[in-house]
Amino acid sequence: MASTKKLFARLTRRGPHRVLRGDLAFAGMPGVVYTPESGLNLPGVVFGHEWMTQAENYTHTLEHLASWGIVAAAPNTETGLAPSVLNFAFDLGAALEIITGVRLGTGKISVHPGKRGVVGHGFGGSAAVFAAAGMGGDAHRPKAVVSLFPTVTKPPAEQPASTLQVPGLVLTAPGDPMTLRSNAVELARAWEGATLRTVSKAQAGGLVEGRRLARFIGLPGADRDTQKIVRGLLTGYLLATLAGDKTYRDFADPEGDLPHTEPADPNADPVALEDKVVALLKP
């Protein structure tokens, strides 16, 4: 069996499948869906975008997942200045039902209801938690949830996180837990089945693609290293948890030693709001 480092290097590159692009508008929802060219009973995920971004800002990440045999849909809703995390969570759940309930492409593509996941970045990372918590019953419950550099929302996502009975992965960047926007540590502490990992040298906002003028208005810009690392980690985790591919089981192992990451214990060093404020005010 290939080493984890070799598997990771493989996963950072596009997979073997030709990718097709579709539109969620066929089911009455703004958004996109990317699929491998064919395949029945595939794993499928919905992806929630960050604040003030759109689905198209994750085009290459969605294509990457599809190239590895994972159907990936992204609603293009709640993209304004004051989005509702609850409305977005509802849209994520609805999009997951859409890709599960219909044949995609020319009818040669389908998602298995037992191989579904919810993924989100930033604002979408917290929305993913709300979405997963709102899916009742074994028939609707996602098999895995991934929150990438999640950020604080109102209402907070910690309460629904405490009710989740599915495994999850929470990624954070170095120094990110000390910022006022991040709730990665708090989410992982509330969520019993979550694994918290720090991605070395990552930028929390760097997963967003194509926002060239972002820094001029105070938003983080794209970072290719962050995108490459996160795509590899995310793909391996989803192949292990949703597809059940034992080749990538180390990517879902809380004790696993993964490239460019450090496992973190959310209970070892609690980060209170007062600590964050003090840290930010220090010269």
pLDDT tens, residue by residue, 26-51: 889 999 999 999 999 999 999 999 99
As given in the structure block, the two tokens for residue 100 are 């599960």
Phi (first) and psi of residue 55, to 5 degrees: -55, -35
Q: Between the CA of residue 167 and those of 144, 147, 170, 256, what are the distances in Å?
A: 5, 11, 10, 15
Q: How far is CA 169 from CA 221, 236, 260, 264, in A?
A: 24, 12, 15, 11
Weakest mean pLDDT among 26-35, 173-182, 185-194, 221-230: 173-182
Q: In sequence order, what are the beta bridge partners of 39? A: 109
Is it the case that residue 234 has pLDDT exceeding 80? yes
Cβ 146 vs Cβ 184: under 8 Å:
no
Q: Which long-range contacts (CB under 8 A, 24 or more apart) does 236-239 make?
A: 236/7, 236/8, 236/11, 237/144, 237/146, 237/169, 238/43, 238/45, 238/65, 238/70, 238/117, 238/119, 238/144, 238/146, 239/43, 239/68, 239/69, 239/70
Q: Which residue, 186, 181, 206, 83, is CA-closest to 129? A: 186
Q: How many CB atoms lie within 10 A of CB 195?
A: 20
pLDDT of residue 138: 65
Q: Which residue has the higher pLDDT, 99 or 177?
A: 99
Asked whether the beta carbons of 131 and 92 are under 8 A apart, the reply is: yes
Instruction: Write down the pLDDT at residue 107.
Output: 75
At residue 220, the pLDDT reads 63
pLDDT-derived band at 237 (thresholds 50, 70, 90) equals: very high
pLDDT digits (tens, 9 = 90+) for 113-167: 999 999 999 999 999 999 999 986 666 789 999 999 999 999 999 999 999 999 9
Res. 201: pLDDT tops 70: yes
Q: CA of 274: how far to CAs of 103, 269, 270, 281, in Å?
A: 50, 14, 11, 11
Strand arrangement of the beta sheet that strand 71-75 belongs to:
19-23, 31-36, 71-75, 39-48, 109-121, 144-148, 168-172, 194-199, 261-264
Q: Is the predicted pLDDT of residue 274 greater than 60, yes or no?
A: no
Name residue 6's beta-bridge partners: none
Q: Which residue has the higher pLDDT, 281 or 91?
A: 91
The pLDDT assigned to 152 comes to 96
